[in-house]
Amino acid sequence: MEELKKTITQLAFWDELSEDEKAYAEQNTCIQSHKKGSLLHSCGNECLGMISVISGEIRVYLLSEEGREITLFNMYPGDVGVMSASCVISEITFETHMEVGRDCKIMVMSSMAFSNLAENNVYVRCFMYKTATKSFSDVMWTMQQIMFFKFDRRLASFLVSECERSGSQEINMTHEHIAHCVSSAREVVARMMKRFSEEGLVELKRGKVIITDIEGLKKII
């Protein structure tokens, strides 16, 4: 209960809610824990609603009819997402999937509660569209990377962004995990990593990549 209170009060619109709205939001919000590799599903006939990542990592992706996955973006602690709330934002006309990249704990506000708050409170509504706009910006950046950039630039960009995000030169990811993140095949990632290693840009360890020349990676970008 204390964790829920601490997390929900950090939402950007929280101070703009009435006392009744705050009580309603809390009653319809819960904390969930999910293991690495699990998928986040809707609850019954209701879409997932708004989620806030407390710990861990979530990969948001599209799945084609042929089974090909395209990673749109990743969510990390502190990130809030509404891409799964297609029943709330009617303009979202495609289905996204969410896979847990690292064991995670998330806060979930039901789609019904989030929809009601957005309909009756302009601050929640503005927050909803601002969050959705940021997500679409991330999607467009990903599409630009896939369509116009060579793979060495895409991979170098990913490694640099992960290094800067975590503040560590050690990236604890397998080649398969990285392949999911950059929408490629594990074999392609392995070949490019080998090239980067031979050029002294990275050091490859089992289940991890150590950045040894971040400036060299930046030159590729």
Domains of the chain from N-terminus onward: 2-147 (2.60.120.10), 149-220 (1.10.10.10)
User: What would the DSSP string read from start to end of 52-106?
Assistant: EEEEEEEEEEEE-TT--EEEEEEE-TT-EE-TT-TTT-TT--S--EEEEEEEEEE
**Low-confidence winner among 3-12, 92-101, 134-143, 167-176 (lowest mean pLDDT):** 92-101
- The tens digit of pLDDT for each residue in 151-184 reads 999 999 999 999 998 899 999 999 998 998 888 8
Q: Element (H or E) spanning 3, and its range?
A: helix 2-8
The pair of three-digit structure tokens given for residue 127, joined into one six-digit string: 């927050």
Q: Compute the Cα dihedral for 100, 113, 136, 167 and give only its sign.
A: negative
Q: Indicate the average pLDDT of the chain.
A: 87
pLDDT at residue 63, rounded to an integer: 78
CB neighbourhood size of 173 (10 A): 21
Judge whether 7 and 31 are in contact, CB under 8 Å.
Answer: yes
Q: Is the pLDDT of residue 44 over 60?
A: no
| pLDDT score of 137 | 83
What percent of the chain is modeled with pLDDT above 70? 91
Q: Which residues are paired to 205 by β-bridges? A: 208
Which segment of 51-55, 61-65, 164-168, 172-176 scores lowest on mean pLDDT? Answer: 61-65
Q: Compute CA 197 distance to the chain's CA centroid, rounded to the nearest angstrom.
A: 28
SS3 194: helix
Residue 1 confidence (pLDDT) above 70: yes
Write out pLDDT tens, residues 74-112. Answer: 899 999 988 665 555 555 556 778 889 889 999 999 988
How much is the pLDDT for 42? 56
Confidence of residue 15 (pLDDT cuts 50, 70, 90): very high
pLDDT confidence of residue 105: 96
Q: By mean pLDDT, which of 111-125, 135-149, 204-218 is the weakest?
A: 135-149
Instruction: Read off the tokens for 50.
Output: 């708004």
How far is it, in rounded angstroms, from Cα 159 to Cα 195?
Answer: 14
C-alpha 138/C-alpha 74 separation (Å) is: 9
